[in-house]
């Protein structure tokens, strides 16, 4: 699984709370990811974060 945060992010911080091993708030204020590649054991959390993002800014594939 790959993950990416697009420019729709409103910096609410929910994904960072849900999955701090993958998401972070970047210096610019928006969320980002440490690595686009998601470890298998984190895929469920990343999918949950993507589903919960209020503006659907988390793209998984």
Cα separation, 57 vs 23, in Å, equals: 12
Q: What is the DSSP letter of 45?
A: H
Cα separation, 57 vs 42, in Å, equals: 18
* H-helix or E-strand spanning residue 18: helix 14-18
- In the complex, least distance from residue 25 CB atom to ligand SF4, rounded to whole angstroms: 7
Asked if residue 58 binds ligand SF4 (CB under 6 A), the reply is yes
Interactions with ligand SF4, residue window 12-51 (CB under 6 A): 12-15, 31
Q: Which of 11, 21, 26, 35 binds ligand SF4 (CB under 6 A)?
A: 11
Q: Which of 3, 9, 19, 22 binds ligand SF4 (CB under 6 A)?
A: 9
């Amino acid at each position: 699984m790959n993950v990416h945060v697009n420019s729709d992010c409103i910096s609410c911080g929910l994904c960072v709370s849900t999955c701090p091993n993958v998401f972070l708030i970047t210096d610019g204020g928006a969320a980002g990811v440490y690595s686009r590649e998601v470890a298998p054991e984190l895929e469920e959390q990343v999918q949950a974060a993507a589903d919960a993002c209020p503006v659907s800014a988390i793209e998984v594939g």
